[in-house]
Chain A
Amino acid sequence: MKGFAQLAATNLKLYLREPITVFFTLAFPVMLVLIFGAMYGNEPLALFGGYGSMDISMPGYTALILGAVGLLTVAINTSSYRESGVLRRFRATPLRPVTYIAADVTGTFVMMLAGMVPLLLAGWLLYHVRFEGQLPSVFLAVLLGGLAMFSVGYLIASLAPSARAAQVIGMAIFYPMMFLSGAGMPLEILPATIRRIADFLPLTYVVKLLRGLWFGETWGQHLLETAVLVGILGVCTAVAARFFRWE
């Protein structure tokens, strides 16, 4: 337990010292609010069901942080820790693999929650964005979406032959999803063909679930999204655990 807490706290500290992570989790979402807020404002639109562009961007940008942390931070960190021999050093201690992963996930998840703070503050202060959901429900959705994205990250790290490859794969999956899943921009403004592609992107389901719960819908209305994310989490975790290598 002592080891778990210390490792989670240390991982969080290390993330905060990593410029790329800090940029994508803390600064990038706020930048999006500033840029797209300036472009579209937050006037209620029929297209978005009476919500403003910034209102519906909040759950989207939250999903974006989850995707960035899972596909970039987790994939790149884990694979480079393996390649450089950091994991090898941990393995020579009594630390259990499951404790290592749990501490890594916890540190990463807290980092992600920290990233939501400036995003929501910016949205609220600049555009008085609306929130009509229940906090515990939305938190659970963030947790489920986060774990699903992290598991994809661990899967990439487990299967990629090198840290460099993991980085490329992570980026190749993340960047298209940023634009096509409804995270970076609402699906409503994208053409129908692109929306069909979105159905095949994991992040789409995070966006849909978060957005629904954010504006007061129930889990019952999002059984498909929930099932898909639980499925991703289960499959990716199982495969990653099967192929995970310490060195």
Chain B
Amino acid sequence: MAPVIEVRNLRKTYGSVAAVDGVSFEIAAGEIFGMVGPNGAGKTTTIECIEGLREPDEGSVRLLGMDPRAQREAVAQRIGVQLQECTLPSRLRAGEALDLFGAFYQRQADAGELLQLLGLTDKRAAPFAKLSGGQKQRLFIALALINQPQVVFFDELTTGLDPQARRAMWDLVRQVRDRGCTVVLTTHFMEEAERLCDRVAIVDHGRIVALDTPEALIRSLGAERRLVFTLPESTLDQEVRQPPTLAGLTQVSRVERSNNHLLVYGHGERFVSSVVSTLEDGGVPFLDLRTEQPNLEDVFLALTGREMRE
């Protein structure tokens, strides 16, 4: 099946800064595709080029088999867009906004149903300016779905939402996809990308530095796991500064000490059990044992040498 979105060598420069510096990828029908990266990485410019809102300097974009610039109107009829920076007239009511935007499209979703889906039913008559940040965000998401789009773009899907609303939004996005809609989203929450997206493109300085399923990206790190435990106060300043027995295990790659936490890195099936039994055999007391899987945050760190910042 032909991909829903095809981006070839996309380039967009502002002044001397290459916001998007040669990006290529494809998105298949029914995917939830995420672009993650810090602010200014080029995510928004990329998806606005795909939507046809910006003209690329170089490269080509096909969306639903069309050119989003040349066939702007036909493309706009079939996609939904949630923009990062926009607003509505302050005195426009939530329900009126859905009626108004619905009138621009041939296909129209049920406005009442959308308000309910996004928990805005009791805000139908509220003026836009009186909505909270999260409610505005949810209204824009409703507007992006008003034409029952085939492809929907969410730019910073859950910015401004509290953690509970964020999880509810993830469920909503999955529902939208289950109805056959392809979802393209940008986020700077790594957890969101990891939990929600089928495939993730990690973007930095206008380039895609990695693109795969979240699991594969994490596996590509070498599957190093981390074991963290706390040493009781009594053992501080004693011989367990660097238990030599742990570093000698084949499953352990390195041991780090920070204050009274001991961090053991390693891999393999018997990694955890071997560390625990070695500590017990050596009579080293420990508290609060927990294992940590690497996540996308670690992938980003490994690929770019920088922490993802909020």
Interface residues in chain A, defined as those with a beta carbon under 8 Å from any beta carbon in chain B: 2-3, 5-7, 10, 13-14, 17-18, 81, 84-86, 88-89, 91-96
A225 to B39 alpha-carbon distance, docked (Å): 55
Asked if A94 and B53 make an inter-chain contact with CB atoms under 8 angstroms apart, the answer reads no
The A/B interface has a contact count, at CB < 8 Å, of 58
Q: A14-B89, A86-B86, A89-B88 are in contact. Are A94 and B73 (CB under 8 A)?
A: yes
Task: Return 5 A-B CB contacts under 8 Å, by A number.
Answer: A2-B104, A86-B88, A89-B140, A92-B86, A95-B104
A137 to B86 alpha-carbon distance, docked (Å): 43
Would you give the 0/1 interface string for B51-86, flagging 1 where the beta carbon is closer than 8 Å to chain A?
Answer: 101000000000000000000110011000101011
Asked if A92 and B103 make an inter-chain contact with CB atoms under 8 angstroms apart, the answer reads no
Contact of A85 among B51, B85, B104 (CB under 8 A): B85
* Least CB separation from B48: chain A residue: A92
Asked if A88 and B85 make an inter-chain contact with CB atoms under 8 angstroms apart, the answer reads yes
B-side interface size class: 20 to 34
Q: A14-B91, A18-B91, A92-B76 are in contact. Are A3 and B85 (CB under 8 A)?
A: no
* Least CB separation from B105: chain A residue: A94
A10 to B105 alpha-carbon distance, docked (Å): 16
A65 to B51 alpha-carbon distance, docked (Å): 41
CB of B63, distance to nearest CB on chain A (Å): 13
CB of A108, distance to nearest CB on chain B (Å): 14
Within 8 A of A (CB), among B274-301: none
Contact of B103 among A7, A13, A96 (CB under 8 A): A7
Contact of B89 among A81, A91, A93 (CB under 8 A): A81
B99 interface residue per 8 A CB criterion: yes
CB of A170, distance to nearest CB on chain B (Å): 18
Q: A93-B105, A94-B76, A96-B73 are in contact. Are A85 and B87 (CB under 8 A)?
A: yes
Contact of B92 among A10, A92, A94 (CB under 8 A): A10
A85 to B27 alpha-carbon distance, docked (Å): 29
> For residue A81, which residues in chain B have a CB less than 8 angstroms away from its CB?
89
* Least CB separation from A100: chain B residue: B104
* Least CB separation from B99: chain A residue: A6
Asked if A7 and B86 make an inter-chain contact with CB atoms under 8 angstroms apart, the answer reads no
